[in-house]
Amino acid sequence: MRTITDVNPMTTDLGYNTTLQYANPVTVDSEHNRIYTFGTPSAGGTPVIRYVNYPAGTGVSYPRPTNLLSVSALEYRDGFLYMVGTNSSGTAALFRYVPTVTAGAALMVTTAALEYPMDILVKSDYIYVANYNSITPANHRILKFDRNTLAFIGAYGTGIPPATPDDNRPGYFYGPFLFLAENNRKIYLIDEATGTGNGQNRVVAFDEVGTWKGWEIFRSEDLNPANEYRYYYC
């Protein structure tokens, strides 16, 4: 395994007089040196969308969309914020929003397949959502949406968790949790049954959602739950 270290890391104050909400989702706009996040002002009140200039630490808060209640993950891409969370009715939803000082509704879509969205990935013409369901593991899926219209395209995955730690068949998920290396050619995903161990904590990689072309598995060689690495802390 090769470790890559940033020899010139930058730090900035993401709080900026803010107590961030529990999930602490962040996304980076590298073109404008901004970090976007969703949080609650330290004085209380309504959560806001905030961007922070790095490394200066100064920033601006925008009202959250009127139809958005909470955010579990977000990604900035080409002027838009793509977010998964819950809408004002408490239903899991996908949003596309241009941050603005004037409060308004975001483009939003809901679907029965969107149950417990954990992370979002914007790649090419599509949006992918990691749908994690600890109550009904058969619903562990990768959801696919059209990037421009947010139209729901489909839910992908076998719907059956792998039977054993050495069951590496494509499309079988223990629990889609977090996308990695978003600019890589392949899609990398933390897939794990949180709290279980026994080989069920791993990273999977694939070229295409649905066909699972180029499927690869990365996991610790030590399958002892007491020693196994918990990827979701990344």
Look up residue 194 and give its two tokens: 């949180």
Owning domain of residue 215: 112-138+153-234
Mean pLDDT score, 136-150: 92
Query: Beta strand pairing status for 152-156 and 176-180?
Result: unpaired
Same-domain pairing of 118 and 105: no
Q: Which amino acid is at 191?
A: D
- 75 pLDDT higher than 60: yes
Same-domain pairing of 101 and 2: yes
pLDDT value of residue 108: 97
Residue with more model confidence, 165 or 104: 104
What pTM does this model have? 0.83
pLDDT value of residue 4: 34
Same-domain pairing of 78 and 116: no
Which pLDDT band, with edges at 50, 70 and 90, does 6 fall under? very low
The verdict on residue 65 lying in a domain is yes
Which pLDDT band, with edges at 50, 70 and 90, does 93 fall under? very high
Indicate the range of 20-29, 49-58, 134-143 predicted with least confidence: 20-29
Same-domain pairing of 91 and 129: no
Smallest CA-to-CA distance from 97 within 143, 36, 30 is with: 36
Q: Which of 26-40, 70-84, 213-227 has the highest mean pLDDT?
A: 70-84
pLDDT value of residue 98: 92
Number of domains in the chain: 2
Burial 204-226 (b: 16+ CB within 10 A, else e): bbbeebeebeebeeebeeeeeee
Look up residue 159 and give its two tokens: 């719907």
